[in-house]
Structure 1
Amino acid sequence: MTTQNDRPAGRRTGRRPGTSESRDTILRAARQRFAEHGYDGVSLRSVAKTAEVDPALVVYFFDSKEGLFTAAMRDALPPETLLDEVLAGPVEECGQRLVAAFLQRWETEPTRDKLRSILRSAVSHAASAEVVRGFIAEEVLDPLAKTLGGDNPRVRAGLVGSQLIGLALTRYVIEIDPLAGVDAAHLARVVGPTVQRYLTGELP
């Protein structure tokens, strides 16, 4: 039976020319290429060459380079799972749960390598940064802010996004001390109240 992972985004018909294993191979190659060459320096053909598959298979699964980059992010940071974790508890503690869940993914291999390759591409290339911002805002933070019911959900989502991306950049990519060495659970307790205020507190 064909699963959701076996199908490319935006396509639901036609003979499946590849397997979920082929899809995973393409995603691994894409993350490698994006990390080494940035978003602008990667083409679907170059990813296909690295993955040793037909370029048509990359198009079949992902449609476009943006679709491929977004799929790589979704693979590393599944929004549905993250939202379920954040919303599973008292509203007044969702900020800490969000930071804890976010850090937990960065603390775990192979997810850390997946996220690091994406973030390195984003900070060095404007096009990939735009895709990352759109993914985090539209698929994770906008739905969270709207579910919590606060005013100005897009502003709240943007503030939370700036906090999380900045935290990941300084801790896991640039590795600035002492932030890089602080225990993740402790860091979630420290940063959580700030994220909570962004999500549900009064904004000036």
Structure 2
Amino acid sequence: MSAQGDGDADTPVAAGRRKAGRRPGGPDTRQNILDAARAEFGARGYENTSMRAIARSADVNAALLHHYFGTKDQLFLAALDFPLQPRDLVAQVVGGGRDLVGERLVRFALALLENPAARERVLAVVRAAATNEQMARLMRGFMEREVVVPIAAALALPRPDLRVELAMTQMVGLIMGRYVIGVEPLASAPVDELVPLLAPTLQRYLAG
């Protein structure tokens, strides 16, 4: 009897009694999630894309997205192969008091961009955002939600969101001039020469 009962577990009738659900994880699950995330973020933008929607598109349980990537912003970064961690940037800017906030921001950005592997991934996204409205919209939504809002919330100053955005545009200008266009002498200037020149402007934006 027990042998017959064990065999029944694999019959079509028994299988039909099992609870239907999303496809479980497998060898290609992570890549399928990344492909679905790129498609959903591209179609809906960062703010309007949910983890549940990505899970439906990838035909997996939503728990697998959290298993592989953690949070929505981490999945977004993985989908773009983007090396900047907004949480690290926010912690660097708002941590340690306001006296050297401008210098900390400059040093964080330059440390990232002076790393060749990280620089190439950042520049790939910057170039795409500069020439593709869909990518520009994605990055605006992401940076506003994950960088501008948290930093602005920590600044006890008038128009903190505008101040943070001005600081971000200053950094984008640095990226374009130094690493994309290669304007001299900016392109070859040592980091230690650039920091004291840029820091006061960013300090004024972020700390008044």
CA-to-partner distance for each residue in 1:61-88, whole Å, 9 max, x for gaps? 69xxxx9765445841101112222233
Contact 1:73 1:115 in 2 (8 A): no
How far apart are 1:56 and its partner, in Å?
4.2
Alpha carbons of structure 1 residues 73 and 170: separation in structure 2 relative to 1, 3 Å:
farther
* Other-structure match for 1:102: 109
Give unpaired runs (5+ residues) of structure 1: 1-12, 31-38, 41-54
- Cα RMSD for the two superposed structures: 3.5
Alpha carbons of structure 1 residues 14 and 151: separation in structure 2 relative to 1, 3 Å:
farther
Secondary structure class of the residue paired with 1:191: helix
Alpha carbons of structure 1 residues 19 and 89: separation in structure 2 relative to 1, 3 Å:
farther
Which of 72, 88, 91 is matched with 2:95 structurally? 88
Count of residues in Structure 1 that have an aligned counterpart in Structure 2 = 160
Contact 1:93 1:196 in 2 (8 A): yes
Residue identity over aligned pairs, in percent, reads: 32
Alpha carbons of structure 1 residues 165 and 57: separation in structure 2 relative to 1, 3 Å:
farther
Q: Distance in 1 between matches of 2:171 and 2:80?
A: 15
How far apart are 1:132 and its partner, in Å?
1.7
Q: Distance in 2 between matches of 1:185 and 1:138?
A: 31
Q: TM-score, normalised by structure 1?
A: 0.65
CA-to-partner distance for each residue in 1:50-109, whole Å, 9 max, x for gaps? xxxxx9489x869xxxx9765445841101112222233231211110111011111113
Contact 2:152 2:164 in 1 (8 A): yes
Residues 20-35 of structure 1: pairs in structure 2 closer than 5 A: 22-23=30-31
Secondary structure class of the residue paired with 1:179: coil
- Rg larger for: 2
Q: TM-score, normalised by structure 2?
A: 0.64
Alpha carbons of structure 1 residues 56 and 150: separation in structure 2 relative to 1, 3 Å:
same
Give unpaired runs (5+ residues) of structure 2: 1-21, 44-56
* Other-structure match for 1:16: 25
Secondary structure class of the residue paired with 2:187: helix
Contact 2:167 2:205 in 1 (8 A): yes
Contact 1:82 1:101 in 2 (8 A): yes
